[in-house]
Structure 1
Amino acid sequence: MQLEDLRKQIDEIDQTLVQAFAQRMQVVAQVSKTKQEQGLPVLDPARERQKLADIAAQLPPEMEQYGYALWSILFEVSRSYQSSLRPQPSPLRQEIAASMDQTPNLFPPSATVACQGVEGAYSQLACEKLFKHPQVMYFGSFDSVFSAIENGFCQYGVLPLENSTAGSVKQVYDLMLRHSFKIVRSTRLKVDHNLVAKKGTKLEDVKEIFSHPQAISQCSSFLEKLGKDVKVTPCENTAAAAEAVDQSQRTDVAAIASYNCVALYGLERLAADIQDRSNNYTRFICISKKLEIYPGADKTSLMMVLPHRPGALYQVLARFYTLGLNLIKLESRPLPDREFEFMFYFDLETSVYSEEFIRMIDDLSTISQEFQYLGSYSEVI
């Protein structure tokens, strides 16, 4: 049989499937109405499990896995459609709508902002990109930045989340599990690392280099060329490393830091742009204690704890796909107090004014055991 003949057969089968799908969704709408009248939830896990088992049993063994996947997607689509037919907004949607009404139209030009490190840190540079006149307060750890926001000591906090070369800042993601906060804005900062030392120090004199582990990772090629005789010592912050070099009595130490630290600490630049990649960017988030959603917000961040079973993450991704949402970040972190369970962090590209966003918010409770809405915001380029 020719390929074109086979394709015609598939087209005929697809036509039957389209008609059956439309008919099924009409019945789904009736089911949604009946459930709503009886006060029943959209999801009935027991019935869904039984249906999937029945469908798999009707298929040849070699097709069971594919049939299971297909009907799982169909059930996700059906639940999403049922949710869209319910006019009553979820409590979370009501909270978001209230925040959008109460948030000012313009992001504040000045505020008290918490940053990790000391003056000259990249977090400070990101802070100055987000705010016109920030009142920066420095803290020794990322944990302290979160705590400063929770306790109302600072209005906002700025934290690094991921780097285009070294990847995610795992420590910040882990702290997200322990703290209460909302993301109100983000920015990407081009990071150009420099090797800085006391004036008069030559590159061949350097025996030890200090910097933050992320910066060390981003400059691995340069450090390898220096040889094994040069010791690389991690510290809490790039600017703190530059400050330590300035205060040290040694003349054989250097730091990887921003160029701002040269003038700030009276140092000299021994080498410029030592990062592995020229397009080295770090993404920073701006967090607050309360939910603030400013006009133009087109990114949304979520955290979810999903059931420990095959296909749990797939079902969530299928729902995002059904709604036409663009997933731009997915990060998983183990839950410290639970065996083999993970928190999943999602960044989604969707306007807060879109119908897809509203449907996603109303659907969240049906697709996750636990979820946390972290905020909707825009990114400063």
Structure 2
Amino acid sequence: MENERLAKLRKNIDNIDKKILKLLNQRAELAIQIAEIKKAEGLSFYDSVREREVLKNLAQLNEGPFSDKTIKTLFREILSATLSLQESQKIAYLGPEGTFTHLAAIKYFGSFAQFEPKDNIKNIFESVEKGVTKFGVVPIENSNEGTVTYTLDMFMQYNAKISGEITIPISHHLLSLTGEKRKIKKIYSHPHAKAQCKEWLQKNMPGIPVYDVASTAEAARQASHDEEIAAIASEFASTLYGLKFAAKHIEDYSNNYTRFFILSKNFSAKTGSDKTSIMFSLQDKPGALYNALKPFKDSNINLTKIESRPAKMRKWEYIFFVDFIGHITDEIVQKTLESVKQYCTEVVHLGSYPIFE
């Protein structure tokens, strides 16, 4: 009786799969027609605002048992696969394969985009500015280690715009070919990852030297060639490089996240839940910073981040980077920035983009 019920349930699933397959191809055909219209009108094939709207609506319609997060992940892959039929999306990221930046790029764009690893953050900005890739993904801050200042410095040299953001949880694992801690003679790690696992390493791997490498992915690559080498890297890297877990979740603080910017040549349209990033330099007068920030308070605009960096070409002068809630097209934002400009030598709009959810 149970075997008959099992066979019936499986037959029902097979029938549903056939319907899903037919509907997916129908959806793809409609997307191809939309692509033809966009091409004729000179519109961009990728529309992050439309994608966000689709995923949000589907999550609202979801009645389970799949979670909203699972539904969004499934349909992001469908959207990514569909977009690949319209246009190949080239995405530059901080390589090599298996870095957290690579993972962030996949989570944002889906696995059907064309990902191109770059050796450093500067090359990502350059790739986007020259149009070699349509988008770039760069780390901007970690909840434990703070701001990636080199990324901020690149905004002073390049005209790439911020068109999106994504924040992902960071979890480090000790990986090796055998997964046996007793065989580990040395550990490779990116300096930031090493710092985030310092206490665990001192307690659990005393006397084992830890060597700095360019990325957690490079650490994993090195470990994939020698069973005496372990890497501090992600679960994603373990899959890519065929490594086993010698220890899981070795970060000292579990509440560890990294925020990434999505770079492009264009700004994002308003969604109603947006964040804006600007940078500005100040007049050399007493109270200049206070005067530049006061209009935000007067307009009740929430500042979510402020950071300063030395102006490379002018001794003892600084560039300030500010994130705040709102879109550049909002009337209150425009009026506020007009007030801010009175106290600045320069104000640059880096981007307005949907708040990551």
Structure 2 counterparts to residues 324-343 of structure 1, below 5 A: 324-343=300-319
Moved more, 299-308 or 107-116: 107-116
Matched residue type, 1:333: R
1:282 aligns with 2:258: yes
Residues 216-273 of structure 1, C-alpha deviation per residue, up to 9 Å, x if partnerless? 22222212224662222222211121012213xx432211111012221111111111
1:217 aligns with 2:195: yes
SS of the residue corresponding to residue 152 of structure 2 reads helix
SS of the residue corresponding to residue 187 of structure 2 reads strand
1:148 aligns with 2:92: no
* Structure 2, unaligned runs of 5 or more: 1-44, 52-78, 84-88
Aligned residue for 2:293?
317
When normalised by structure 2's length, the TM-score is 0.72
Q: How far does residue 147 in structure 1 lie from its aligned partner after superposition?
A: 0.8
1:178 aligns with 2:157: yes
* Structure 1, unaligned runs of 5 or more: 1-101
Structure 2 counterparts to residues 1-381 of structure 1, below 5 A: 104=47, 105-107=49-51, 109=80, 110=83, 111-132=89-110, 133-199=112-178, 202-226=180-204, 229-247=207-225, 250-352=226-328, 354-381=330-357
When normalised by structure 1's length, the TM-score is 0.68
Moved more, 108-117 or 257-266: 108-117
SS of the residue corresponding to residue 153 of structure 1 reads coil
Matched residue type, 1:330: I
2-side partners of 1:293 and 1:285: how far apart? 16
The answer to whether the Cα contact below 8 Å between 1:308 and 1:340 also exists between their aligned partners in 2 is no
The answer to whether the Cα contact below 8 Å between 1:130 and 1:380 also exists between their aligned partners in 2 is no
Matched residue type, 1:146: F
2-side partners of 1:355 and 1:291: how far apart? 17
% of aligned pairs identical?
33
Higher relative contact order (CA 8 A, sep 6+): 1
Matched residue type, 2:133: C
SS of the residue corresponding to residue 369 of structure 1 reads strand
1-side partners of 2:123 and 2:227: how far apart? 33
Moved more, 144-153 or 352-361: 352-361
1-side partners of 2:194 and 2:286: how far apart? 37
2-side partners of 1:254 and 1:339: how far apart? 44
The answer to whether the Cα contact below 8 Å between 1:114 and 1:145 also exists between their aligned partners in 2 is yes
Moved more, 263-272 or 206-215: 206-215
SS of the residue corresponding to residue 314 of structure 1 reads helix
SS of the residue corresponding to residue 321 of structure 2 reads strand
Q: How far does residue 375 in structure 1 lie from its aligned partner after superposition?
A: 0.8
2-side partners of 1:361 and 1:337: how far apart? 25
Structure 1 vs Structure 2 CA RMSD = 2.4
1-side partners of 2:270 and 2:331: how far apart? 18
Judged with a 3 Å threshold, the aligned counterparts in structure 2 of structure 1 residues 245 and 314 are, in CA distance, closer, same or farther, namely: same
Please identify the structure whose Cα radius of gyration is greater.
1
2-side partners of 1:352 and 1:308: how far apart? 27
SS of the residue corresponding to residue 263 of structure 1 reads helix
Moved more, 213-222 or 276-285: 213-222
The answer to whether the Cα contact below 8 Å between 2:283 and 2:343 also exists between their aligned partners in 1 is no
Residues 112-146 of structure 1, C-alpha deviation per residue, up to 9 Å, x if partnerless? 11001122211121112211332111111111111
Matched residue type, 2:107: K
Matched residue type, 1:156: F
Aligned residue for 2:55?
none
Matched residue type, 2:114: Q
1-side partners of 2:211 and 2:285: how far apart? 41
Q: How far does residue 353 in structure 1 lie from its aligned partner after superposition?
A: 5.5
Q: How far does residue 357 in structure 1 lie from its aligned partner after superposition?
A: 1.3
Residues 65-91 of structure 1, C-alpha deviation per residue, up to 9 Å, x if partnerless? xxxxxxxxxxxxxxxxxxxxxxxxxxx
1-side partners of 2:181 and 2:286: how far apart? 54
SS of the residue corresponding to residue 277 of structure 1 reads coil
Count of residues in Structure 1 that have an aligned counterpart in Structure 2: 279
